[in-house]
Amino acid sequence: MALQWEPQWEELVIEKWGVKLKVKKDKVTGMYACPICGISDSAIYFFSIEDLLRHMLTHARRERIETIRVSIEEGEEGAKLEEIGEES
């Protein structure tokens, strides 16, 4: 009995809710890897395409929040973060 998971990744294109993505799927477990997180010890894996897409939306929301809340201004004193507005 093996105590470690030895993934066998295959690359495939999935389409769900009008979204087409190239993702990696493990042949043994059937888990999908997030293309943004990648494949590593700290990556997140999913058993369904729906869960993977919901996870990917959190990446988009997180980026949007950071873009709205701060701007970077460079001056003589170096870079400075300044709050632009609040997240709605």
pLDDT in tens, the chain (88 residues): 567 778 899 999 988 877 788 999 999 999 999 988 888 888 889 999 889 988 888 887 765 555 445 455 555 655 554 555 554 4
Give the C-alpha separation, 43 to 56, whole Å: 13
The whole-number pLDDT of residue 70 equals: 47
Structural domain spans, the chain = 9-83
The whole-number pLDDT of residue 42 equals: 81
* Residue 6: C-alpha distances to residues 29, 41, 49 (Å): 10, 12, 21
